[in-house]
Chain A
Amino acid sequence: MASDSRNIRELLNNLWKWTVDRLERTTIVVYKFTVPKQYISPYGYLGTLTAIVFAILGVSGAFLMFYYRPDVELAFLSVKEIQEKVPFGFILRNVHYHASNLMVLLAILHLYYQYFSGRYKIKNEVLWVTGIILGILTILEAYTGYNLIMNQRALLAVNIGMGLTYSAPILGPTIAPIFMGGGLFDLVVRFYALHVFILPLLMLLLAAVHFPRALIIDFPVISVIVGVIFISAGLFPAELGIKFDLTRGLVEVPEWYLTAIYAFLRTGTERFTAGALLPLLFVIMFLIVPFVDRSRKLSWKDRPFFTALGVASIVLVTVTTVWGFYVDFSKETAFDQLYIEPTLFYGSIAGMTIASFYATYVYLSRQVRGARPPPTKPIVLKPQSATTIMVVLLVFIAAAAAATFYTYFINLPNHSMFYLGIAFFLFGLLLHVYRHSIYTQERQATQREQQAVRTAT
Chain B
Amino acid sequence: MAGAVLAVIAPFANLVGYFYRKEEEVSKRQKLANLKDLSPGSYIFFSYPQTGDPKIDNDPFRQYVLIMTHDGHLRVYSRVCVHLWCLPSYIPSRGALICPCHGSIYRDTDGVAVDGPAAYQQYPTNALPMGVIEVDQNGDIWMVGVEGRLGYGREWQRVKPDDLVRRVT
Contacts and interface: CB of A to CB of B under 8 A. Distances in A.
| A interface SS class | helix
A334 B100 CA distance: 12
Nearest to B81: A246
A177 B84 contact: no
B86 interface: yes
B60 A183 contact: yes
A334 B86 contact: no
A155 interface: yes
A173 B117 contact: no
Interface residues of B, number: 27
Interface stretch (A86-94, A116-124, A158-166): A158-166
Interface in B65-90: 84-87
Interface string A233-270: 00000000000001111000000000000000000101
B125 A271 contact: yes
Interface in A150-196: 155-156, 159, 162-163, 166-167, 173, 176-178, 180-186
Interface in B4-60: 19-21, 25, 55-56, 59-60
B60 A182 contact: no
A335 interface: yes
B122 A181 contact: no
B152 A166 contact: yes
A364 interface: no
B100 A184 contact: no
Interface in B114-162: 116-117, 120, 122, 125, 149-152
Given A162-B151, A182-B56, A182-B59, A334 B122 contact: no
A246 B120 contact: no
B7 to A, nearest CB: 27
A219 B101 CA distance: 51
A166 B102 contact: no
A330 interface: no
A311 interface: no
Given A163-B152, A166-B149, A178-B20, A247 B59 contact: no
Given A180-B61, A182-B21, A246 B103 contact: no
Max count, chain A CB within 10 A of own CB: residue among B25, B85, B87: B85
A176 to B, nearest CB: 7
Given A182-B21, A248-B100, A268 B120 contact: yes
Contact of B87 (A182, A246, A333): A246
Contact of A271 (B21, B84, B122, B151): B122
Given A73-B55, A271-B122, A335-B103, 12 more contacts: A72-B55, A72-B59, A155-B85, A167-B125, A176-B152, A177-B19, A180-B150, A181-B20, A182-B25, A184-B61, A185-B59, A246-B101
Interface of B: 19-21, 25, 55-56, 59-62, 84-87, 100-103, 116-117, 120, 122, 125, 149-152
Interface of A: 71-73, 155-156, 159, 162-163, 166-167, 173, 176-178, 180-186, 246-249, 268, 270-271, 333-335
